[in-house]
Amino acid sequence: MGILSNIFGKIFPSSHAANTQGQQPSAQPGAQSSAQPSQPASPQAAPAAPSQPAPAQAAPVAMEQVDVEQILNDMARKNSQKLNWRTSIVDLLKLLDLDSSLAARKELAQELQYSGDTSDSAAMNIWLHRQVMNKLAANGGKVPADLKD
C-alpha cells in the first residue's frame, strides 16, 4: 500500500471509489491495458477502449464527491498542533497522522513520478503538495481551485 493510498484512506470514506481502488490513479495505464483484453472487441472497438475507462471511473466520482477542505479543516481544528495543510505537505501528512519524514516524502515523490531533484526538498515539497491535491481532486475530492493545477 503506497503513501498516496494511505492519504486517500485518511480522507475518503471506506466506501469511496478512490479508497476501494487503492493505487489505481497512479496505475491507470496498467488498469486500462488489463481492461482491454477482458472486453471482446473488434478492431474498431479497440481504439475506443482507452477512452471508455475514464468516463466509467468519473461517474462514481461525481456521485461521491468528498469535501476535502472541510474534512481537513475539521481535522485541523481538533489537532493540538497548528498545522497548515493548505501549503505544507509536511503539515498535511502530520495532520493525517502519516509519516512526514524526508524519506517518506521521497517515497511519495517516487510514487508520483517526481522528475526533479529530491535533494531540493523545498521544490519537491511544493510539487508534492500540488500533486496530492490534484490526485485528491481527480478521485472525487472537492479541492479548492487555488490548491491544484
Higher-confidence position of 124 and 53 = 124
Q: Mean pLDDT throughout 32-45?
A: 43
Q: Is the pLDDT of residue 146 over 80?
A: yes
What is the pLDDT at residue 131? 98
Q: What are the DSSP E strand ranges found in 45-143? A: 66-67, 141-142
Higher-confidence position of 38 and 69 = 69
What is the pLDDT at residue 17? 64
Q: What are the DSSP E strand ranges found in 88-127? A: none
Q: Is the pLDDT of residue 140 over 50?
A: yes
User: What percent of the chain stands above pLDDT 70?
Assistant: 66
The model's pLDDT over 46-96, given as tens digits with 9 standing for 90+, comes to 444 444 444 444 444 444 689 999 999 999 999 999 999 999 999 999 999
Q: How confident is the model at residue 108 (pLDDT cuts 50, 70, 90)?
A: very high
- Residue 119: other Cβ atoms inside 10 A: 9
- Please give the span between the terminal C-alpha atoms of the chain, in angstroms, as a whole number: 26
What is the pLDDT at residue 18? 62
Q: Where are the domains of the chain?
A: 67-147
Q: How confident is the model at residue 36 (pLDDT cuts 50, 70, 90)?
A: very low
